[in-house]
Structure 1
Amino acid sequence: MLYEPGTEWQYDVPTTGSTHLPPDAGYGKALTNQGYGFEVAVADLIDNSIDAKADKIVVHFLRDADRILTLLIIDNGKGMDEAGLDAAMTVGRRRDYGDEALGMYGTGLKAASLSHASSLTVVSRTRRSRAAGRLLTAEGIEDSFRCDTVDARYAQEFVDRYDGVIEWQGTIVRWDGVRAFETVARGQSDQFLSKAISRLETHLGLYLHRFLQRGLKLDIAVWDVGSGGQGLGEEVDHIAVEALDPFGYKVPGKADYPREFIAPVEGLGDLRMKAHIWQAKSKQAGFRQIGSLMDRQGFYFYRNDRLVQAGGWNGWRNPEGHLALARVAIDLPSHENNVLSLDVKKETITVTQAFTDGLDKAVDSKGRTFRSYMLDAETAYRDGSRRNEIVRKPVTPPGKGLDPKVKRVIKEELPEKPGEEPITFTWGPLPPDQFFALDRERNVVVLNKTFREDFNDGRRGGANDVPVTKTLLYLLLEDCFGLGRWERSRQDRLDYWNTILMASVGAQRTRRAQPLS
């Protein structure tokens, strides 16, 4: 028996001493299997950049003709000196976080990185210290938590390569041996990167939308290091991540919204909840492009302005189609509590019964209940579903080479054909009398690189240059992809479009050659 009746119960367990038990080296395997998704892991590293007061961050994919080589995250934050690097790379060390910090547990840098890469390098510089670096691998952790010191000359050269981001201070996080990259078949790098960057752009745009709206500059770039020339090679894609505000509607789906409800939660106090109702059938990116409407209804929890859960009712009720317009923003209290718990990966909130009980008692300033809000959201959905609307024809989605802002508007305005590879725009060699050509097997529009300067006003164009020209060509040529039989009338149309566009190139060159009056 555990307890013998008639004897006195011992409330405190007596002890006779202590032993310090450092983690076994095998802990490294647990560290690399935390279940981080790729986008979640990258976002965790960007949190560190934001905590370091960075206002410019670049997620940088390096590739050559055959492979995706490396992932870098570069920021212009306050950086770290030698001691700071040692602390950041210490496994199991939990530093003190300020009330406004995005970091929590002190494991994100190591766990997020080694969940995807076999090697983690961090190189950093402060305004008062020279560039320094540390290298951590899963093998090093198994070897009594060994962390290697990066050669000082390499660290300085590495920082100097990215002086467009790191001027006086900043940090570079480098992943090598990324397992997802190593599984990409030869010739499939473009398709892999296109999908990976699209998912990453959506995730970062959503979870960091408040920071992006306040001016954080966050870019995703792809460089071909095997393209020849000096330095890093040639930039082949560049995306400026835009905020995807899950509450960014222009007009609410029901009058007198949003409303603020206050839920009395035992052990937490009054919890403020801002309840929103979207317009039915909205085409805005913050509604349609952040995932399934079933998954995205519900609670949006924020911690220090960083979104940490995007949708879900946390057991209060099940997702339902007629609640697709209902979204509720909740800022987590700054003080620690036992009611709302955030997981290590910062993507899910676990709640206790006290939270769900508080929802049943929540009211707004006029005494209206939170359940009345749910009824309003259902009504808005049903009313909107009965409205007649013009159904637009699905299109093959736009892809690499077209400005991300243009792609977003196209996706808002036009439904996509499922399973179609996006249409890519690239500059390449073509006959002198041809402005563009189609590669229908690979869904590529090739523009004659001879005329690139003419449409960039003499400047060297980037990956997403001449947006007006490319957008007009997309609208003209979209229906030429994904077809079975190629009709002569379509080829004739391409031929006279090319002839007319060549005339426009001649006119453009004539105007450039004329002196300004």
Structure 2
Amino acid sequence: MPYEPGANWQYDVPTTGSTHLPPDAGYGKALTNQGYGFEVAVADLIDNSIDAKADEIVVHFLRDADRILTLLIVDNGEGMDEAGLDSAMTVGRRRDYGEGALGLYGTGLKAASLSHASSLTVVSRTRRSRSAGRRLTAEGIEDGFRCDTVDPRYAQELVDRYDGIIEWQGTVVRWDNVRAFETVGRGQSDQFLSKAISRLETHLGLYLHRYLQRGLKLDIAVWDVSSRENELGEEVDHIAVEALDPFGYKVPGKPGYPRKFTASVEGLGDVNLTAHIWPAKSRQAGFRQIGALSERQGFYFYRNDRLVQAGGWNGWRNPEGHLVLARVAIDLPSRENSVLSLDVKKEKVTVTPAFTEGIEKAVDSKGRIFRSYLADAESAYRDGSRRNEIVRKPVTPPGKGMDPKVKRVIKEELPEKPGEDPIAFIWSALPSAQFFSLDRERNAVILNRAYRDDFNEGRRGGSNDAPVTKALLYLLLEDCFGLGRWERTRQDRVDYWNTILLASVEVQRERRTQVTS
């Protein structure tokens, strides 16, 4: 119907046609400025692996003697063929996600990757298609959104290198020219990786804890490609990510909890709130090792079992010291809605006044209001604060070479000295009269490689092997680090500990010989 001037101007805007306007190349620069933290970006890529039905995922750092080279994320999911790769790498194209998918906006792969790396490569194969790959670079985006086709021979070779994970199908996502890696000075790679992996392990263990608890196998590994151990190099660190359950207490901080409340929210319907109270002064990792306690009180929003916000009251109230035991689990609806919206990075939920009004009126099955829960959480905190507690001395934390499960228990049991680099455990060549030595400049315990097999039952040990031996040495030697002047009495202790441990190795060798003969 032709437009008649002055008619219905207040209700509608008439049009006369349409034009398709492709995105300007400058849009690509916006992908690199999404504000993704490193751990958040990696978690976003792992979401894609989970959506592809992967049950084994490895985050793989490659390094050489001087620098960190690249980062790869490898999974054994369903994989993609050529058409699927083209779709996944198309900037601005939104995918159709299933009901239970973790993906939401279709931009995560590109935005998360290009926020940290100048080059994104994806190589994949399915049960019915050969290995194929695509590469997206910052320069390619500026050049009219050009996407490069990876040489099929390289794609197959890369998949073959990970045949322990990708047997019939899977995907490798590779970041090159990672900006954070390029800032690491010569000789600083170990320190950088130790801190980066620790933060990544905590983030993934927390935000994916429900999947890890259901059996997802998620590892973080570091390979030194300059090593002559074999053609692929040598694995120098390997961590199996463990679930960090923010509600994983053994006994609640107050009887009768957890307790379920229901909030009637206009525009959304009933929203279930599962209110928890942690025991006061808990040392469990799920309470103390996921960030500052003041920031971790409040709402924990989940979407399809993936944690998307870990704490905060979303404007309903301010955080307070006496509410640090209060945590509330809320499962978001899978479908998008106008009341609770998730940001593109999947780390914060925005709520409308309708949600906070619903919280005010939330009740449990016995008619108790939600604010009574806050009073109970505050009471549990104050009761716990009045209890006498033995104060344990802070320690320098264990680092590389110690099994993650042992490290986690040490962190739960002992407070850490602030600002201290972790103590590493390294197997290396030493004189036969030494079982171990101390490298106090590098904060490392050096173990004699000649005795390694004796603590691994003759098997080739991994980077986190001999957990009992390393734990005992840690307890003996922790106070030898972070000191000023090195006292003669401490050196004398180190000398006689070495002598006694060497004698124990000889006894162990004799017993093994008797058993085998």
Q: Using the alignment, how far apart are the partners of 2:466 and 2:74 within structure 1?
A: 27
For 2:69, the equivalent position in structure 1 comes to 69
For 1:145, the equivalent position in structure 2 comes to 145
For 2:222, the equivalent position in structure 1 comes to 222
Question: Residues 394 and 414 of structure 1 are in contact (CA less than 8 Å); yes or no, is this contact kept in structure 2?
Answer: yes
For 2:234, the equivalent position in structure 1 comes to 234
Provide the secondary structure at the position in 1 that maps to 2:364. coil
Provide the secondary structure at the position in 1 that maps to 2:485. coil
Alpha carbons of 1:148 and 1:508: their partners in 2 closer, same or farther (altered >3 Å)? same
- Structure 2 unaligned spans of 5+: 1-5
Question: Residues 452 and 461 of structure 1 are in contact (CA less than 8 Å); yes or no, is this contact kept in structure 2?
Answer: yes
Question: How big is the shift at 1:458?
Answer: 1.1
Q: Deviations over 1:145-177 (max 9, x none)?
A: 110110111110110000111111000000000
The amino acid across from 1:152 in the alignment is P
Within the alignment, does 1:37 sit opposite 2:50 as a pair? no
The amino acid across from 1:96 in the alignment is D
For 1:303, the equivalent position in structure 2 comes to 303
The amino acid across from 2:379 in the alignment is T
Question: How big is the shift at 1:196?
Answer: 0.2
The amino acid across from 2:11 in the alignment is Y
Alpha carbons of 1:477 and 1:229: their partners in 2 closer, same or farther (altered >3 Å)? closer
Question: How big is the shift at 1:454?
Answer: 1.4
For 1:25, the equivalent position in structure 2 comes to 25
Q: Using the alignment, how far apart are the partners of 2:283 and 2:45 within structure 1?
A: 31
Q: Deviations over 1:351-391 (max 9, x none)?
A: 00000000010000000000000111111111111110000
For 1:492, the equivalent position in structure 2 comes to 492
Provide the secondary structure at the position in 2 that maps to 1:177. strand
Question: How big is the shift at 1:23?
Answer: 0.5
Question: How big is the shift at 1:230?
Answer: 2.9
The amino acid across from 1:309 in the alignment is Q
For 1:178, the equivalent position in structure 2 comes to 178
Q: Using the alignment, how far apart are the partners of 2:335 and 2:179 within structure 1?
A: 38
Q: Using the alignment, how far apart are the partners of 1:324 and 1:121 within structure 2?
A: 43
Question: How big is the shift at 1:7?
Answer: 8.9
Q: Using the alignment, how far apart are the partners of 2:206 and 2:63 within structure 1?
A: 27
Map 1:284-299 to 2 at 5 A: 284-299=284-299
Q: Deviations over 1:6-48 (max 9, x none)?
A: 9965301111111111101111101111110000000000000
Q: Deviations over 1:195-216 (max 9, x none)?
A: 0000000000000000000000
Map 1:469-484 to 2 at 5 A: 469-484=469-484
Provide the secondary structure at the position in 2 that maps to 1:65. coil
Question: How big is the shift at 1:247?
Answer: 0.2
For 1:454, the equivalent position in structure 2 comes to 454
Question: How big is the shift at 1:254?
Answer: 0.4
Q: Deviations over 1:60-87 (max 9, x none)?
A: 0000111000000000000001110011
Q: Deviations over 1:450-470 (max 9, x none)?
A: 111111111111100000000
Question: How big is the shift at 1:516?
Answer: 5.0
The amino acid across from 1:508 in the alignment is Q
Question: How big is the shift at 1:491?
Answer: 1.1
Within the alignment, does 1:190 sit opposite 2:190 as a pair? yes
Q: Deviations over 1:243-275 (max 9, x none)?
A: 000000000000000000000000000000000
For 1:395, the equivalent position in structure 2 comes to 395
Alpha carbons of 1:238 and 1:129: their partners in 2 closer, same or farther (altered >3 Å)? same
The amino acid across from 1:62 in the alignment is L
The amino acid across from 2:369 in the alignment is T
For 2:3, the equivalent position in structure 1 comes to none
Q: Using the alignment, how far apart are the partners of 2:80 and 2:483 within structure 1?
A: 55
Q: Using the alignment, how far apart are the partners of 1:8 and 1:442 within structure 2?
A: 77
- Structure 1 unaligned spans of 5+: 1-5
Question: How big is the shift at 1:124?
Answer: 0.4
Tell me which moved more, 488-497 or 110-119: 488-497
CA RMSD of aligned residues (A): 1.1
Provide the secondary structure at the position in 2 that maps to 1:514. helix
Q: Using the alignment, how far apart are the partners of 2:142 and 2:7 within structure 1?
A: 48
Q: Using the alignment, how far apart are the partners of 2:515 and 2:325 within structure 1?
A: 57
Provide the secondary structure at the position in 2 that maps to 1:445. strand
For 2:81, the equivalent position in structure 1 comes to 81
Alpha carbons of 1:506 and 1:366: their partners in 2 closer, same or farther (altered >3 Å)? same
Q: Using the alignment, how far apart are the partners of 1:396 and 1:334 within structure 2?
A: 44
For 2:163, the equivalent position in structure 1 comes to 163
For 2:49, the equivalent position in structure 1 comes to 49
Q: Using the alignment, how far apart are the partners of 1:15 and 1:216 within structure 2?
A: 52
Question: How big is the shift at 1:433?
Answer: 1.0
Question: How big is the shift at 1:229?
Answer: 4.0
- Count of aligned positions: 512
Q: Using the alignment, how far apart are the partners of 2:241 and 2:491 within structure 1?
A: 37
Alpha carbons of 1:118 and 1:7: their partners in 2 closer, same or farther (altered >3 Å)? closer
Map 1:356-375 to 2 at 5 A: 356-375=356-375
For 1:103, the equivalent position in structure 2 comes to 103
Tell me which moved more, 505-514 or 136-145: 505-514
Q: Using the alignment, how far apart are the partners of 2:293 and 2:478 within structure 1?
A: 27
Tell me which moved more, 221-230 or 322-331: 221-230
Q: Using the alignment, how far apart are the partners of 1:450 and 1:301 within structure 2?
A: 51
The amino acid across from 1:403 in the alignment is D
Q: Using the alignment, how far apart are the partners of 1:88 and 1:231 within structure 2?
A: 32
Q: Using the alignment, how far apart are the partners of 1:114 and 1:336 within structure 2?
A: 26
Tell me which moved more, 310-319 or 16-25: 16-25
Q: Deviations over 1:166-193 (max 9, x none)?
A: 1110000000000000001111111100
Question: Residues 428 and 447 of structure 1 are in contact (CA less than 8 Å); yes or no, is this contact kept in structure 2?
Answer: yes
Question: Residues 400 and 424 of structure 1 are in contact (CA less than 8 Å); yes or no, is this contact kept in structure 2?
Answer: yes
For 1:418, the equivalent position in structure 2 comes to 418
For 2:349, the equivalent position in structure 1 comes to 349
Question: Residues 258 and 275 of structure 1 are in contact (CA less than 8 Å); yes or no, is this contact kept in structure 2?
Answer: yes
For 1:200, the equivalent position in structure 2 comes to 200
Question: Residues 62 and 68 of structure 1 are in contact (CA less than 8 Å); yes or no, is this contact kept in structure 2?
Answer: yes
Within the alignment, does 1:270 sit opposite 2:267 as a pair? no
For 1:209, the equivalent position in structure 2 comes to 209
State, as a whole percentage, how many aligned pairs show the same letter.
85
Question: Residues 161 and 231 of structure 1 are in contact (CA less than 8 Å); yes or no, is this contact kept in structure 2?
Answer: no
Question: How big is the shift at 1:438?
Answer: 0.4
Question: Residues 44 and 109 of structure 1 are in contact (CA less than 8 Å); yes or no, is this contact kept in structure 2?
Answer: yes
For 1:3, the equivalent position in structure 2 comes to none
Q: Using the alignment, how far apart are the partners of 2:342 and 2:336 within structure 1?
A: 10
Provide the secondary structure at the position in 1 that maps to 2:366. coil
Q: Using the alignment, how far apart are the partners of 1:8 and 1:439 within structure 2?
A: 82
